A and B are shown apart, each in its own frame.
Chain A
Amino acid sequence: MTEPLLSVRGLTVEFPTRHGILTAVEDITLDIMPGEVLGMVGESGAGKSMTGNAIIGLIEPPGRIARGEILLKGQRIDNLPPDEMRAIRGRRIGMIFQDPLTSLNPLYRISDQLVETIRTHLPMSQEAARKRAIQLLDDVGIPDAARRIDDYPHQFSGGMRQRVVIALALCAEPDLVIADEPTTALDVSVQAQIIDVMKQLCADRGAAILLVTHDMGVIAETANRVAVMYAGRIAEIGPVREVIKDARHPYTAGLMGAIPRLGENLDRLQQIPGAMPRLSSIPQGCAFNPRCPKVFDRCRSHRPSLSQAEVGRQVACWLYDGVTEA
């Protein structure tokens, strides 16, 4: 068995506030294999982005990693001194943000931003870095890259800017790319192109992707495995096809039921009654229990943890765990 590229063990992120400590992410455990695409879905506030931020070490204070560890190729990275972590960001873990209109510094040319990033991580001359930057822009599908490279961000459209962002995330050949809702802010017509570019380039370079999104369609087309998040925890994790076809967790089943399918004649979409609890009022027991159609007594008092349902699939639900006590 190959060693996982990234290994997250019991990650818990807390935000101390005046009204007590809020737990944004609790007890997340997952592995990402080299070259793999792991999708992460969930509603807004489920802790998807926070998990990504924690991995790359960019949680805004006062938020902090309270428990757990993050290992990159077996090396712990969650407790590194700031400067060593900085050297990992961009070099070994790249990140793509949601809104390409705001992720690029408006006052710097594209060339400056690319060359600056390349030269921060790789020992290269100005000219060599520039050549590499043009190559990268060409790779992400920017026509006439050699000429466009000296343009400013505002001279590019949204889709083109997201291509530039991808080029920036990939410019030092990281092993892992965290893509935080990379297509949410884009036109539907360019979403597929951007996903294709990202997937293709990462595959060429053997980089793994952690794809954070709320778009199940994107996950279905892109990811190898998917982690479904609910209220800061992983509800279910497994190979994409199996999770979609045969959801184990009632929340996942509800999510799948809410996706309209072609050829199906529905008057209304199914929906899960209620709303995800706020971080300050997560119910006792399983966080999903007030909305769960299959709820029973134990769900209200004991919190289920992620356990093996079958090979490669893990579910945090008492339905699949008759034996283990909490």
Chain B
Amino acid sequence: MLAFIIRRLAQSVLVMLFVALIAFVIFRYVGDPITSMVGVETRLEDQEIMRDRLGLNDPVVIQFARFIGNALQGEFGISYRLQQPVTELILSRLPATLELAVASALIALVFGVVLGVFTALRPKSFVTAGIMAASLVGVSLPTFLIGIGLIYVFSVELGWLPSFGRGEVVDLGWWRTGLLTESGLKSIILPAITLSLFQLTLIMRLVRAEMLEVLRTEYIRFARARGLTQRAINFGHALKNTMVPVITITGLQLGSVIAFAIVTETVFQWPGVGSLFITSVQVVDVPVMAAYLMFIALVFVLINLIVDILYYVVDPRLRVDGGASGN
């Protein structure tokens, strides 16, 4: 187990180094950092002095090493646009994105698993046919369209829920949460649903397919032959075996929920990391883009690591310490 975790950690570090290289290349070579920082009136000699002082004339390898050193300390430079440290910017936007991502991942997971199990256990019911058809819509409609549709129905026509923003937030010192106020809770509903729909249908279809597969296995037949109750078979034996691939996909999807919250955040003007990224792209705020890249890569690597460790918890066959005894 320990050796496995160490090996996975080493792999993660390698991946992060590679992403850092790409981020560094963007940071250093997309546009000229000096011209982006200073106005056009600055004299060329002054620019040259600045370039020297910032170490932009050093060999590339040393610059890369310095980039990584800074990144390890959470130092990604100053945003060109907002003149604030990039790390501070991202951290201040992070709670909004994480709350949205976790809320929609929960919606997707709960409804995805429930609907998946239901459609697998009642493959011939009309309700199943309806759910499966609706899920096709969920997969194929683009996120922004769903978001706009929801805004139209629930904000414009019915006026039940706010159409943009995060509502009132409470500052806990290190975390600004919108989940403690009524307006905050109301505000998160529409964006969370919008962001979750695609993952929900994906998880549902995956659970259904896996469950149907598992229900055909011999150990399920044997469980029936032992006279176990339908409930124990379906929700104990079958569901547990269904969960292994579901954990992988859900984990990876959580990563993409965070990474691709961009569209949803834009539609609902949600003040998260995604909308920060979009505005940064519009004004070529390279340090923010590079840091965002590193951040998203870190999220994916961490989630992958956690998923791999979860496998160990769920599937005893991966724990090799037991060892089979001979006959």
How would residues 124 to 166 of chain B score, 1 for a CB under 8 Å from any chain A CB and 0 otherwise?
Answer: 0000000000000000000000000000000000000000000
- Interface-side segment among B69-77, B95-103, B278-286, B317-325: B317-325
A154 at the interface (CB under 8 A from B): yes
Q: Closest B-chain residue to A143, C-beta based? A: B325
Chain A interface size, under 10 / 10 to 19 / 20 to 34 / 35 or more:
35 or more
Please name all residues of chain B whose beta carbon is closer than 8 Å to the beta carbon of A97 when the two chains form the complex: 218, 221-222, 225
The reply to whether A106 and B317 contact each other, CB–CB distance below 8 Å, is yes
- Interface-side segment among A116-124, A266-274, A280-288, A292-300: A116-124
What is the CB-to-nearest-CB distance from B316 to chain A, in angstroms, rounded to a whole number?
4
Please name all residues of chain A whose beta carbon is closer than 8 Å to the beta carbon of B226 when the two chains form the complex: 89-90, 94-95, 117, 120, 168-169
The reply to whether B237 and A117 contact each other, CB–CB distance below 8 Å, is no
The answer to whether residues A120 and B322 also contact, given A58-B224, A106-B219, A106-B316 and a CB cut-off of 8 A, is no
How would residues 196 to 234 of chain B score, 1 for a CB under 8 Å from any chain A CB and 0 otherwise?
Answer: 000000000000000000000111011111111110100
The reply to whether A157 and B326 contact each other, CB–CB distance below 8 Å, is yes
The reply to whether A151 and B314 contact each other, CB–CB distance below 8 Å, is no
What is the CB-to-nearest-CB distance from B326 to chain A, in angstroms, rounded to a whole number?
6
Q: Closest A-chain residue to B216, C-beta based? A: A60
Please name all residues of chain B whose beta carbon is closer than 8 Å to the beta carbon of A35 when the two chains form the complex: none
The reply to whether B324 and A116 contact each other, CB–CB distance below 8 Å, is no
Please name all residues of chain A whose beta carbon is closer than 8 Å to the beta carbon of B227 when the two chains form the complex: 86-91, 117, 120-121, 172
Q: Which of A91, A103, A157 has a CB less than 8 Å from the CB of B219? A: A103
Q: Which of A87, A154, A159 has a CB less than 8 Å from the CB of B316? A: A154
Please name all residues of chain A whose beta carbon is closer than 8 Å to the beta carbon of B230 when the two chains form the complex: 82, 86
Q: How far is the CA of A261 from the CA of B221 in the complex (A)?
A: 37
Q: How far is the CA of A281 from the CA of B241 in the complex (A)?
A: 40
Q: How far is the CA of A121 from the CA of B229 in the complex (A)?
A: 10
Q: Which of A105, A152, A169, A190 has a CB less than 8 Å from the CB of B327? A: A190
Q: Which of A91, A155, A172 has a CB less than 8 Å from the CB of B324? A: A155
The reply to whether A105 and B237 contact each other, CB–CB distance below 8 Å, is yes
How would residues 144 to 165 of chain A score, 1 for a CB under 8 Å from any chain B CB and 0 otherwise?
Answer: 0000100110111111100001
B315 at the interface (CB under 8 A from A): yes
Q: Which of A90, A99, A109, A154 has a CB less than 8 Å from the CB of B225? A: A90
Please name all residues of chain B whose beta carbon is closer than 8 Å to the beta carbon of A82 when the two chains form the complex: 230
Please name all residues of chain A whose beta carbon is closer than 8 Å to the beta carbon of B240 when the two chains form the complex: 105, 107-108
Q: Closest A-chain residue to B222, C-beta based? A: A103
A125 at the interface (CB under 8 A from B): no
Centre residue among A104, A105, A169 by max chain B CB count within 10 A: A105
Q: How far is the CA of A36 from the CA of B326 in the complex (A)?
A: 33
Please name all residues of chain B whose beta carbon is closer than 8 Å to the beta carbon of A154 when the two chains form the complex: 316-317, 322, 324
Q: How far is the CA of A102 from the CA of B217 in the complex (A)?
A: 8
Task: Name A152-209 residues within 8 Å CB distance of B.
Answer: 152, 154-160, 165, 168-169, 172, 187, 190
The answer to whether residues A58 and B225 also contact, given A102-B219, A157-B327, A160-B325 and a CB cut-off of 8 A, is yes
The reply to whether A58 and B228 contact each other, CB–CB distance below 8 Å, is no
The reply to whether B225 and A89 contact each other, CB–CB distance below 8 Å, is yes
How would residues 254 to 282 of chain A score, 1 for a CB under 8 Å from any chain B CB and 0 otherwise?
Answer: 00000000000000000000000000000
Q: How far is the CA of A105 from the CA of B222 in the complex (A)?
A: 9
Q: Which of A102, A120, A165, A169 has a CB less than 8 Å from the CB of B228? A: A120
Please name all residues of chain B whose beta carbon is closer than 8 Å to the beta carbon of A315 when the two chains form the complex: none
Q: How far is the CA of A159 from the CA of B325 in the complex (A)?
A: 11
Q: Closest A-chain residue to B317, C-beta based? A: A154
What is the CB-to-nearest-CB distance from A311 to chain B, in angstroms, rounded to a whole number?
35
The answer to whether residues A106 and B241 also contact, given A155-B322, A157-B327 and a CB cut-off of 8 A, is yes
Binding site for B on A (CB under 8 A): 56, 58, 82, 86-91, 94-95, 97, 99, 102-109, 116-117, 120-121, 148, 151-152, 154-160, 165, 168-169, 172, 187, 190
Binding site for A on B (CB under 8 A): 217-219, 221-230, 232, 236-237, 240-241, 314-317, 322-327
- A to B CB contacts below 8 Å, 13 in the list: A58-B221, A86-B227, A95-B226, A97-B221, A97-B222, A97-B225, A105-B237, A106-B316, A120-B226, A121-B227, A148-B325, A168-B222, A187-B327
Taking A89-B224, A95-B226 as known contacts, 19 extra A-B pairs with beta carbons closer than 8 A to each other, sorted by chain A number, are A58-B225, A82-B230, A86-B228, A88-B227, A90-B225, A97-B221, A105-B240, A107-B240, A109-B316, A116-B232, A120-B229, A121-B227, A148-B325, A152-B322, A157-B325, A158-B327, A168-B222, A168-B226, A169-B225
